[in-house]
Chains A and B, each alone.
Chain A
Amino acid sequence: MRLADRIAPALLVLMTLFVFILLYGPLMVPIVSSFFTVSHGAVDWSQPTTSAYVALAANEGVLNALWTTLVVGSGAVVCSVVLGTGIALYYTSPNAKGRGFLQFIIFLPFLMPPIITGLALLIFFRQVEFERSLVTIIIGHTVFVLALVYRTILTRLQSLSGSLVEASYDLGASRWQTFRLVLLPNLSSAMVGAAVLAFALSFDETMITLLVTGTQSTLPVRLWAMMRLGFTPDINALVALVLLFTTALCLIAVRFLMPKSAVAGSDED
């Protein structure tokens, strides 16, 4: 039994290490190979090169897709943060009707597989004769990220002391002033965190986009199309850049959403 007690922690470390290799290892392959040329299906390891990155900068399809992705992401972020904040405010307001139902609807696209959300929107757009375009992608992304944005803002809203709002009204502030001068400053970091998270999700969203897109393709959709054809150095270069960008986004989101409380809360253990 003593021996087992000594082996168990070592096994845990090994298992954790193994999982980390599983999670990060595969990602290293395209990053590393993006710096080498491929000829006749074999990677030429002898001389590193940045030619793939140069080729990428001249690839108009990819640049267009990047632009589309940024437009869609920004659109989805603005829509989802405004809507999420509004709905969270409504949810906490005393006159709110059918809170549970409203929340259920918002969570549907998040709980259901993206293929269902995407197909439902596809049929819907066709039925109301709404041309598939950038707008439909933005709508798809907005309903997809809304649950997360809404939840993040609601959590912050509910953690605020009610006396803040009470004091604001007592001091003669109107509803709008209370919102702008009291609630908004308190919500801002949650809103920024939610916005970054929403952007990261939108940046990566593939399944809904594939279904509701018209002729435009976002970066993941473009990547998807490229990858089905096989491995090329410029895909690898693109993959490396996208990974760099999303990792940066993640770390920013973490900074805004997981500061003091999480780390402080862990110290009690």
Chain B
Amino acid sequence: MSSRVADAGVEAPAAHPSPSRLVPWFAALAAYAVPIWFVLAPMALFLGYSFFSVDKGNIVFTPTVANYVRFFTDPVFLPIFWRTCLLCLAVAVLCVLFAFPVAYFLTTLRGRRRYVLLVLLLVPLLMSYVIKIYAVRSILGGNGMLNRALLATGLIDKPSMLFVFNLNAVLLTLTVLLIPFAVLPIFLSLERIPKALRHASADLGASNAQTFWRVTVPLSLPGTLSAMSFVFVLAIGDFLTPQMVGGQSGFTFGRIIYSQFGTAFNWPFGAALSVILAAVVIIAIRLGGRVESSRGRIQ
């Protein structure tokens, strides 16, 4: 399509050769100006900051790798980093476990019903994130719905503190918040599986369960993995949820980064931690996307 536009585009201004030569440059300038100035420049500066240091509240602009050395050698940061990664991985796994049956159920529906249900699953995505955290917190609290429900059923005889202002609360809250993000990629990959494959499997004598485990699940793996990386990336960058439901013990990597720009006031160190976060995110996106692209090559 673009080549057709190309011919037309070149022909039109041919009568005025000199402006037409400038037009592409102006266009390029206009298109690149904002992204470069407000995205690339800040990100580059950010990367630069991670190599600076702080002395008595002032930033020292002498390059140093001290921030990174501190991260890898200090006994505080690395354990929190690994714990956060593990937490987010657990969130990703939980989200997929919840989202997969839902996505599968969606594919068994037809026409309008399927899309109405899909939209209903996606609507919470656009609902206020802060409000969702608040809502979940009101359920998890020591005097919250979950505790009261458990007490009422007699499963426990005093309010459980297992999920009150700690990492478990963060885990549960993030899972509830991020399930919709997992549904979509899994649904799309399930939808893309040709029906003929499942029919063929049945024709060859496989039971429904065998077809599910040996045809559907492997073919939906790319979607499942990208769902996991999606959820992981969203979870690891979040500092609001841990702050709201994590309490004193629920310290996560995102919270530490945020505190470097607030109470701790060490921007360069915060920048270095963020660069490490960015690296983890890039790896996660790569892992999630890799299977997708390698499958694309096979087809």
Report which A residues bind B (CB closer than 8 A).
1, 4-5, 8-9, 11-13, 15-16, 18-20, 22-27, 29-30, 41, 83, 86-87, 90-97, 102, 105-106, 108-109, 111-117, 119-124, 127, 139, 142-143, 146, 158, 160-163, 165-166, 169-170, 174-175, 197, 200-201, 203-204, 206-207, 211, 220, 223-224, 227-228, 231, 235, 239, 242-243, 246-247, 249-251, 253-254, 258, 262-263, 266-267, 269
Contacts and interface: CB of A to CB of B under 8 A. Distances in A.
B151 interface: no
B164 interface: no
Contacts of A119: 46, 257, 261, 270-271, 274
24 contacts: A12-B105, A26-B136, A27-B135, A30-B135, A86-B30, A90-B27, A92-B1, A94-B2, A94-B3, A113-B236, A113-B281, A119-B46, A119-B257, A123-B45, A127-B45, A139-B38, A142-B34, A204-B130, A207-B239, A239-B131, A249-B126, A258-B115, A263-B112, A269-B110
Nearest to B275: A116
A108 B3 CA distance: 28
Contacts of A122: 261
A224 B267 CA distance: 23
Contact of A235 (B11, B42, B115, B134): B134
B134 A239 contact: yes
Interface stretch (B68-76, B117-125, B214-222, B291-299): B117-125
Given A26-B138, A112-B281, A227 B207 contact: no
A29 B128 contact: no
Which 3 pairs of residues, A with B, have the shortest CB-CB distance?
Answer: A113-B237, A94-B6, A124-B42
Interface in B258-287: 258, 261, 267, 270-271, 274, 277-278, 281, 285
Nearest to B49: A123
A81 to B, nearest CB: 13
B56 interface: no
B134 A227 contact: yes
Interface residues of B, number: 94
B152 interface: no
A223 B114 contact: no
Contacts of B119: 250, 254, 258
B232 to A, nearest CB: 11
Interface in B236-262: 236-240, 243-244, 254, 257-258, 261
User: Which of A113, A207, A211 has the most chain B CB atoms closer than 10 A to its own CB?
Assistant: A113
B9 interface: yes
Contacts of A224: 130, 240
A266 B128 contact: no
B12 interface: yes
A124 B40 contact: no
Contact of A95 (B24, B128, B134, B136): B24
Contacts of A111: 233, 281, 285
Contacts of B204: none
Given A169-B12, A227-B244, A266-B111, A115 B257 contact: yes
B138 A143 contact: no
Contacts of A86: 30-31
Contacts of B180: 23
